[in-house]
Amino acid sequence: MNTALSPDARADLIQKEMTRDEMLVLVDGYLGVAYQKGFHDPIPAWMKPLLPGSAGFVPGIPRLGIPALTESDASLGVANGGNMRPGDTAVALPSSLLTAATFNPSVAFEGGAMIGREARAKGFNVMLAGGVNLAREPRNGRTFEYVGEDPWLAGLIAGASIKGIQSQSIISTAKHFAFNDQETARTVMSVAMEEGDARESDLLAFEIALEKGDPGAIMCSYNRYKNVYACENPYLLTDVLRSDWGYQGFVLSDWGAVHSTEKAVNAGLDQESSNGSDAIDFFGTPLRDAVAKGTVPEARLRQMVHRILRTMFAKGLFDRPVVKGPIDVYGDLAVAQKNAEEGIVLLKNEKAALPLDPGKKRQKIAVIGGFADKGVLSGGGSSQVHGIGHTKDMHVSLGGGTKVIGGTTWTLPRDTGVLHATAPLAEIKKMAPKARVSFTDGDDIAQAVAAAKKADVAIVFATQYMTEGVDVIDLALPGNQNALIEAVAAANPNTIVVLETGGPVTMPWLDRVAGVVEAWYPGNGGAAAIARILFGEVNPSGRLPVTFPLAESQLPHPIITGQRPDRKIVGTSGTPTAYDVIYQEGSRVGYRWFEDQKLTPQFPFGYGLSYTSFAFENLKLVGASTIKAEFDVKNTGIRAGKTVAQVYVKPPFGPVRLVGFEKVELSPGESKHVTLYADRRLIAMFNADANQWNVAEGDYVVRLGGSATDKAAVGTVHVNAGTVRP
């Protein structure tokens, strides 16, 4: 307990006192509840009273004062409602994709710190947070949990969130390592991608997140990479993570991702998260026997335990143990609302239809659809937070039926989504007390059209539900929502669409509506944030962290590899066998793919409008070992606002890439001088044979603007050849 010693020295001291049996305790996790549907129950009777009622639990060693690891799903808040701890609520942050849309790491840090504080108050010391997987497949059911399609943005935002969580003496993970970029067949698929492409995309996002956030643990994923399961993949867990990146924390498995004992241990897995979700308890008796026989060296077991103990010391679990208590509901709700206000994106604003006038007398506002009278939608799965104000009435039925795509009939599940309080309808009424505000649920299109005809403005709320475990089949709004928007827009030219979606959606009605607001899954403060943006109390400043395609045909995979029309997963009948998911786009993810293929998207990466205007001027470039870009950003409009200055580079070889951005807040007429330096890895290509980044000598084209396609200023700069070791 001498805090003057290093975490390694403290771990060594306590480990000297441990028996082999005690060390084996720390590497074998359990479900944090005595029973959960879909899992078997291997939990011994003596342990059940100790369980925290959560995702995971690793018993401590009371004899030596080693605390238990009490683990909760996280990222969007402390996720422990439902069948785990009924009635337990927490403040729900917006989706991680919305946080990425802020382009503001300080907002991500504040949200992470809020999660860390609530975790402490609820008795948890490990947050299974830090989703870093790229939005390579925008129909991925977990797109909303991740932080966009660009490795620099994803790494910075995820790293800041992790750092925020751990500022509260809580361990945060980074996950899912690696290439878990789709849910379809996630447990059987094998990702086929060349190492250079992997290093320049998915792995680079993780590398940056680790550098910025220093997560105490890494969670390995379900899928295979080059036919080897991620949780027993020595290339990922040892060659990249340990040898190249020098990672010092521990690796834990995803729930159900372990398939062996010796192979997983010797590849670099340090802890089986939950033997209740794996086929057998691989790190229980089999590991005990393997160590006794020498097929797992005793030194490797000691290394596993050292990594766990070192992390517990380094992140403060010994020195600042968690203490249960009340959460700061109002303070934390303010954090969630600020997050939402910075990440909501204004996509269209024809003839300055927005903002609405909150003081206009006798204004008639028709609010239509999207459960706007009840709450705002959230994404489903293990990240599901039962937010403040949650009741059974917040569970709503979504989807169902069939859909014909390319002449094939696809089966759609009838999902049950969870809404977060409060209701946009109530917040709109609060913002415009002199207006006459009506609501129709949108199920009856004729009724919605009648309401729209009587109104000065029609606000249509549209939803797209995403959840862990299944991908959406396309990017269309489900059900009758496209038809509803078309009909309402025909009845009222002043129609505003507010989208609550897990990711990009197609908009066949785009040219017929006056405004579009992408609100994502905006969390507990989302309704107020939407209303404040609609009425101009907040100037929107979110920017798209993913490209919005015009149609699925523009994507590298028009239909997700492994997806079947009956929504069952290819390869899961009988004994699951690996099959390749070939990401032929390689490192050309998102906007890189669109530029490479000369495709025009519906909305480009980085795009977003404001109620004011900005100019990007006076670009000056300096090239040597990397690129230095200086420029001025000026507010040329009549309102204060924020913009995101973005710098993109097209090297002599390889795709265009975002190399820097800065969110700038300016008053009307105000200017700010910005200087950005490109991380050398962002302008390099990875040479797998030499295991290094190579910066090619030559002329690099630099673009400054407000999106991946905006060329407000363009210049060329010469860069010298060089190398960067990983």
pLDDT tens by residue, 471-493: 999 999 999 999 999 999 999 99
* Domain locations along the chain: 7-314, 339-546, 612-724
| Helix segments in 102-145, DSSP class H | 105-121
Residue 37's pLDDT is 63
Kind of pairing between the strands at 224-225 and 345-349 = unpaired
Mean per-residue pLDDT for 79-90?
Answer: 77
Q: In what order do the strands lie in the sheet with 457-463?
A: 345-349, 515-518, 495-500, 457-463, 364-368, 436-440
Whether residue 462 contacts residue 518, with contact meaning beta carbons closer than 8 Å, is answered with: no
Cα separations (Å) of 397 from 86, 351, 414, 418, 526?
20, 36, 7, 9, 20
d(Cα 685, Cα 651) in Å, to the nearest integer?
A: 9
DSSP 247-314: --SEEEE-TT----SHHHHHHT--BBS-TTTSSS-TTSHHHHHHHHHTSS-HHHHHHHHHHHHHHHHH
Question: Is 332 in the active site?
Answer: no
Res. 46: pLDDT tops 90: no
Residue 306 has pLDDT above 90, yes or no: yes
Token pair in block for residue 609: 């409008």
pLDDT of 81: 66
Helix (H) / strand (E) containing 526: helix 526-534
Mean pLDDT over all residues of the chain? 94
Token couple for 492: 């009222």
Comparing 562 with 449, the larger pLDDT belongs to: 449
Distances (CA, A) of 685 to 193, 195, 204, 629: 15, 11, 11, 21
Mean of pLDDT values over 495-509: 98
Rounded distance between C-alpha atoms, residue 657 and residue 616, angstroms: 19
Which of 130-156 are b and which e, b meaning 16 or more Cβ less than 10 Å from the residue's Cβ? bbbbbbbbbbbbbbbbbbbbbbbbbbb
Which tokens belong to 424?
């946009």
Which range has the worst mean pLDDT, 370-379, 412-421, 524-533? 412-421
> For 271-286, what is each residue's pLDDT tens digit?
999 877 898 999 999 9
Stretch 405-416: mean pLDDT: 82
Confidence (pLDDT) at 50: 85
pTM of the full structure: 0.97
Cβ atoms of 536 and 612 within 8 Å: the answer is: no
Q: SS3 for 638-704, per residue?
A: CCCEEEEEEEEEECCCCCCEEEEEEEEEECCCCEEEEEEECCHHHHCEEECCCCEEEECCEEEEEEE
Confidence at residue 567, expressed as pLDDT on a 0 to 100 scale: 65
Residue with the larger pLDDT of the pair 410 and 382: 382
**Taking the domain 7-314, which CATH number applies?**
3.20.20.300
In CATH, the number for domain 612-724 is 2.60.40.10
Q: Could you tell me the pLDDT band of residue 572, with boundaries at 50, 70 and 90? A: very low
Residue 221 has pLDDT above 90, yes or no: yes
pLDDT at 573: 43
Mean pLDDT, to the nearest integer, of 425-443?
97
Confidence check: pLDDT of 574 > 60: no
Distance CA 1, CA 315 (A): 14
**What's the pLDDT at 399?**
78
**Coil, strand or helix at 376:** strand
* pLDDT the model gives residue 35: 65
pLDDT at 401: 82
Closest CA to 177 of 225, 124, 137, 138: 225
Average pLDDT over residues 61-88: 88
The more confident residue out of 90 and 570 is: 90
Does residue 587 come out as left (phi exceeding 0), alpha (psi in the -120 to 50 range) or beta? alpha
> CATH topology for 339-546?
Rossmann fold (3.40.50)
pLDDT on residue 380: 93
Please, which pLDDT band fits residue 63 given cuts at 50, 70 and 90?
Answer: very high
Q: What percentage of the chain carries pLDDT values higher than 90?
A: 86
Confidence tier at 575 by pLDDT (50, 70, 90): very low
Q: pLDDT tens across 142-151, in order?
A: 999 999 999 9
Q: Can you give the pLDDT at residue 413?
A: 77
Amino acid in the structure at residue 252? L
Residue in 150, 202, 214, 254 annotated catalytic: 254
d(CA 532, CA 514): 18
**Using H for helix, E for strand and C for coil, what is the string for 172-227?**
EEEEEECCCCCCCCCCCEEEECCHHHHHHCHHHHHHHHHHHHCCCEEEECCCEECC
- Orientation of helix 329-343 relative to helix 526-534, angle to 10°: 50
pLDDT of 41: 66
- Comparing 54 with 318, which gets the higher pLDDT? 318
pLDDT at 405 (0 to 100): 81
